[in-house]
């Protein structure tokens, strides 16, 4: 009888483990199926967007109240996200119409490889041609990216030790936290050419950003102004956040993503530590909503009625999924679970656009620049791009 009970206990344990494993597999299958539906819906949205997009123009946002698509030229900092999004979807469903449209718009974007008036060439060229080189490669893309890295590097000043973000009046040297996102292009260029100068610029920029952009609570300022002659900090303030001392949500996401990338390329522990500090600031913040999609600023005055920023959620989700691969448990599980929550919040109402709506964009409720009253509670190309990137990374990790 004792032996029989032992067998029953063992058998029950095996059954419970098998049933639990099966249940987990079924849940994962359901989630993957949901994301396949999202990718197909997103494909349909971008095919519609392609049809209404004027020739030689890039999508910027959509104004629902006037049913108007707002576009830009190739020199706008967001120009790389449209081809990048097309390529991410093509990679997942092999729809040739998406690739054809990506290659069409890339031919218009190519001239920006010589643009030395912006720090955003990483966004513009690596999110587009960099993805193209990986997903649908052509040899010409390498030369385009190398020239883009050279153009970006021209904005680095050894006196200050940083890449200038915005051109301004004499005596200003403005650097924004967003600039961390453009360093990946420089690391790629050093690996491709064997020239260490690009990597050295990226490291110097990242080190000085750690020194001057972050507060004791690990949140970041949006803008730091330096004296171009001495490199000394003259002012720390915001442009797109609520106040100079507030934590603008997308800025925190840019920093999280940027330092995760820095660790990927250097394996320097200080960059991983910085990424973890930023992640914990965001995820532990009392003003982070239950669905994990941040308010546009963690210190917005009208929380809980403040606008959410779907783009900040998408960027953070993509960054957290990479960060999970560099940290130990329990942090790895925590970051994965929170990224998963962000993705599936974005993959449903009220963030995911209904079919044949939203001007063809995928996500609703992005926030661009509240202080200037531009792109407020609208779709944003970078929100779509990082949402698709987060889906890609999530699916890869599950598989």
Mean residue pLDDT across the chain: 94
Query: What SS3 state is found at 190?
Result: helix
Q: Domain residues of the chain, as ranges? A: 39-398
Q: Evaluate if residue 15 carries a pLDDT over 80.
A: no
Q: Evaluate if residue 258 carries a pLDDT over 60.
A: yes
Print burial letters for 253-268: b (CB count within 10 Å at least 16), e (below 16): bbbbbbbbbbbbbbee
Question: Which of 196, 13, 125 minimizes the C-alpha distance to 5?
Answer: 13
Q: 10 falls in which pLDDT band (50, 70, 90)?
A: very low
CATH number of 39-398: 1.50.10.10
Question: Which of 270, 272, 277, 251 minimizes the C-alpha distance to 260?
Answer: 272
For the record, the structure tokens of 134 come out as 């990986």
Q: 25 falls in which pLDDT band (50, 70, 90)?
A: confident
Range with the lowest mean pLDDT among 2-11, 62-71, 99-108, 256-265?
A: 2-11
pLDDT digits 0-9 by tens, 294-327: 999 999 999 999 999 999 999 999 999 999 999 9
| 120 in active site | yes
The DSSP code sequence of 257-282 is HHHHHHHHHH--HHHHHHHHHHHHHH
Q: 24 falls in which pLDDT band (50, 70, 90)?
A: confident
Average pLDDT over residues 352-380: 97
69 Cβ contact partners less than 8 Å away, ≥ 6 residues apart: 49, 52, 53, 59, 62, 359, 360
Q: Evaluate if residue 363 carries a pLDDT over 80.
A: yes
pLDDT digits 0-9 by tens, 97-155: 999 999 999 999 999 999 999 999 999 999 999 999 999 999 999 999 999 999 999 99
**pLDDT for position 8:** 35
Question: Which of 149, 131, 140, 144 minimizes the C-alpha distance to 188?
Answer: 149
Cβ distance 328 to 351 under 8 Å?
no
Q: Which of 178, 297, 299, 338 is catalytic?
A: 178
pTM: 0.94
Q: Which of 44, 55, 120, 297 is catalytic?
A: 120
Q: 22 falls in which pLDDT band (50, 70, 90)?
A: low
Q: 6 falls in which pLDDT band (50, 70, 90)?
A: very low
**Helix (H), strand (E) at residue 376:** strand 374-378
Q: What percent of the chain has pLDDT over 90?
A: 93
| 178 in active site | yes
Q: Cis peptide leading into 304, omega within 30 of 0?
A: yes
**pLDDT for position 20:** 52
């Amino acid at each position: 009888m004792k032996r029989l009970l032992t067998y029953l206990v063992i058998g029950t344990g095996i059954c419970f483990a098998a049933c639990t494993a099966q249940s987990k597999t079924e849940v994962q299958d359901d989630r993957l199926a949901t994301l396949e539906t999202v990718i197909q819906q997103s494909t349909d949205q971008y095919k519609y967007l392609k049809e209404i997009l004027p020739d030689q123009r890039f999508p910027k946002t959509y104004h629902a109240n006037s049913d108007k698509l707002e576009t830009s030229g190739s020199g706008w900092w967001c120009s790389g996200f449209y081809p990048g999004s097309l390529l991410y979807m093509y990679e997942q469903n092999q729809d040739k119409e998406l690739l054809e449209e990506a290659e069409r718009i890339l031919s218009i974007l190519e001239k920006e490889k010589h643009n030395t008036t912006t720090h955003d060439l990483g966004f513009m060229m690596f999110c587009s041609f960099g993805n193209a080189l990986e997903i649908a490669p052509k040899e010409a893309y390498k030369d385009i990216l190398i020239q883009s890295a050279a153009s970006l590097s021209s904005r680095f000043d050894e006196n200050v030790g940083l890449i200038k973000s915005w051109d301004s009046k004499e005596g200003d040297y403005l650097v924004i936290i967003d600039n961390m996102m453009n360093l990946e292009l420089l690391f790629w260029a050093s690996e491709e050419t064997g020239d260490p100068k690009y990597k050295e610029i990226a490291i110097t920029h990242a080190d000085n950003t750690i020194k001057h952009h972050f507060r004791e609570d690990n949140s970041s300022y949006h803008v730091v102004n330096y004296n171009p002659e001495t490199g000394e900090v003259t002012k720390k303030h915001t442009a797109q956040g609520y106040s100079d001392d507030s934590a603008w949500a997308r800025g925190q996401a840019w920093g999280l993503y940027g330092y995760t990338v820095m660790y990927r390329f250097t394996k320097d522990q200080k960059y991983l530590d910085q990424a973890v500090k930023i992640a914990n600031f965001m995820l532990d913040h009392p003003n982070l909503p239950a669905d994990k999609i941040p308010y546009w600023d963690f210190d917005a005055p009208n929380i809980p009625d403040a606008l959410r920023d779907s783009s900040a959620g998408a960027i953070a989700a993509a960054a957290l999924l990479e960060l999970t691969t560099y940290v130990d448990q329990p942090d790895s599980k925590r970051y994965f679970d929170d990224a998963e929550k962000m993705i599936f919040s974005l993959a449903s109402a009220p963030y995911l656009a209904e079919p044949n709506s939203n001007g063809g964009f995928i996500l609703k409720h992005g926030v661009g620049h509240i202080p200037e009253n531009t792109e407020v509670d609208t779709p944003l190309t970078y929100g779509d791009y990082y949402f698709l990137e987060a889906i890609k990374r999530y699916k890869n990790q599950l598989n």
